[in-house]
């Protein structure tokens, strides 16, 4: 949208003033989609902070970009960079997306996980509070941990009662596993930074919004091992399964793929974030679940659906045995634990921002796997084709 376009109004009919947004982690999956949305549809300026910019390179080309004046990239590692406070001060709003958020890392790199998600986020909260700047902090649905229902016997009727599994921002407890289950290092660090943000609001008047994403998926998510990420890397489930499909390997189902998850299309989720950005009076002081309860499946069902969708978009028939069961110990290592179900309650976000997700699971998988096939299929074929011995 050009700066001279019609005045945009918030949900209460008030004009939205152009903002300068300091976005930490702008080069990642969520950041890249949010930058696109802000540049395409709003007059806001973005100070894009990250160590990498591969996923937003197309937004930074000075010759081709009509919005070159509205986005600046700053190559910063927020752990130890004196420029961070100055950039927070220059902005009206800071959005912190920076995190280690891959389950494979929680077990194998628990210290990095805790430092990245708690210690490294502390200065961001401090600078926003001390300089009276608004903060949108990205947390995770993992802060809920396990559902109350998971502690009941498997055949107990109350397991089917929404009160025992639907996750509510203001009333659901956060239940983690034992300390030796290092999988909870991520959730625990994320919960503690949430508590700190909330306390800064209560004691020092910090204007904040906390976002709890429930499995946002779409193009540019994570990486494909050995192509645009480390060969030994283990990305999250969507990229893991995409990698298997691209390589014509069975999809690995951890502990039978019985865990239940909901998945939401990144473009739906970004709509919700834009509403938070532009409606501070409705969003400040709130924690928001952002997910799609209508897109609930077991991980096994997700694998079966992705196999069908990939066959459709690639024109390739599925392999004879499309899935294989592996234990969590074998896949993630010692100390792994999991939550049984993650179904978001949508009452608060619907009441405050009038937002509901739109895209079905099939449609979002079709869009995402079309992108994965178009982007990676040739590179994977080259990487996997072995030279013929002479």
Give catalytic residues, as residue numbers: 186
DSSP string, 334-351: TT----SB-EE--HHHHH
Element (H, E) at 252: strand 251-254
Residues 291 and 214 sit within 8 Å (Cβ to Cβ)? yes
Residue 225: which region, alpha, beta or left (left: phi > 0; alpha: psi -120 to 50)?
Answer: beta
Pairing of strands 323-326, 251-254: parallel
**Pairwise CA distance, residues 51 & 79, whole Å:** 11
Beta bridge pairs of residue 24: 49, 96
State phi, psi for 140 to the nearest 5 degrees: -165, 155
Beta bridge pairs of residue 167: 344
Task: Give me 125's structure tokens.
Answer: 């909260």
Query: 315-330 in b/e burial notation, b at 16+ Cβ within 10 A?
Result: eeeeeeebbeeeebee
Residue 283 burial (CB count, 10 A): 25
Task: Give me 198's structure tokens.
Answer: 């909330």
Residues 355 and 272 sit within 8 Å (Cβ to Cβ)? yes
Residues 45 and 19 sit within 8 Å (Cβ to Cβ)? yes
CA atoms within 13 A on the CB side of 292: 24
Residues 290 and 270 sit within 8 Å (Cβ to Cβ)? no
Residues 155 and 171 sit within 8 Å (Cβ to Cβ)? no
Residues 260 and 296 sit within 8 Å (Cβ to Cβ)? yes
């Amino acid at each position: 949208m050009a700066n001279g376009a019609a005045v945009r109004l918030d949900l209460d009919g008030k004009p939205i003033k152009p903002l300068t947004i300091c976005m930490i982690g702008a080069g990642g999956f969520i950041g890249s989609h949010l930058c696109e949305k802000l540049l395409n549809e709003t007059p806001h300026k973005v100070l894009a902070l990250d160590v990498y910019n591969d996923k937003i390179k197309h937004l930074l080309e000075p010759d081709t970009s009509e919005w070159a004046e509205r986005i600046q990239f700053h190559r910063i590692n927020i752990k130890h960079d004196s420029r961070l406070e100055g950039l927070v001060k220059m902005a009206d709003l800071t959005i912190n997306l920076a995190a280690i958020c891959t389950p494979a890392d929680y077990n194998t790199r628990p210290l990095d996980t805790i430092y990245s998600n708690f210690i490294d986020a502390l200065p961001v909260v401090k600078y926003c509070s001390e300089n009276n700047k608004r903060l949108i902090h990205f947390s995770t649905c993992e802060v809920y941990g396990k559902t109350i229902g998971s502690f009941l016997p498997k055949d107990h009727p109350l397991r089917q009662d929404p009160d025992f599994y639907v996750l509510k921002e203001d009333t659901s407890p956060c239940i983690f596993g034992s300390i030796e289950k290092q999988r909870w290092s991520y959730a625990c660090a994320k919960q503690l930074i949430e508590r700190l943000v909330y306390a800064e609001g209560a004691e020092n008047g910090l204007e904040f919004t906390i976002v709890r994403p429930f499995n946002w998926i779409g193009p540019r998510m994570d990486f494909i091992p050995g192509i645009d990420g480390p060969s030994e890397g283990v990305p999250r489930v969507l990229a893991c399964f995409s990698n298997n499909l691209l390589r014509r390997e069975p999809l690995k189902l951890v502990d039978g793929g019985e865990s239940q998850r909901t998945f939401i299309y990144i473009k739906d989720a970004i709509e919700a974030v834009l509403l938070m950005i532009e409606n501070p009076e409705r969003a400040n002081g709130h924690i928001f679940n952002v997910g799609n309860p209508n897109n609930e499946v077991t991980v096994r069902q997700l694998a079966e659906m992705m196999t069908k969708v990939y066959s459709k978009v690639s024109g390739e028939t599925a392999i004879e045995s499309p899935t294989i069961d592996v234990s969590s110990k074998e896949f993630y290592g010692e100390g792994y634990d999991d939550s049984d179900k993650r179904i978001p309650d949508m009452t608060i976000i619907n009441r405050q921002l009038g937002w509901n997700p739109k895209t079905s699971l099939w449609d979002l998988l079709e869009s995402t796997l079309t992108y994965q096939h178009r982007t990676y299929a040739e590179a994977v074929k080259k990487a996997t084709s072995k030279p013929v011995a002479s």
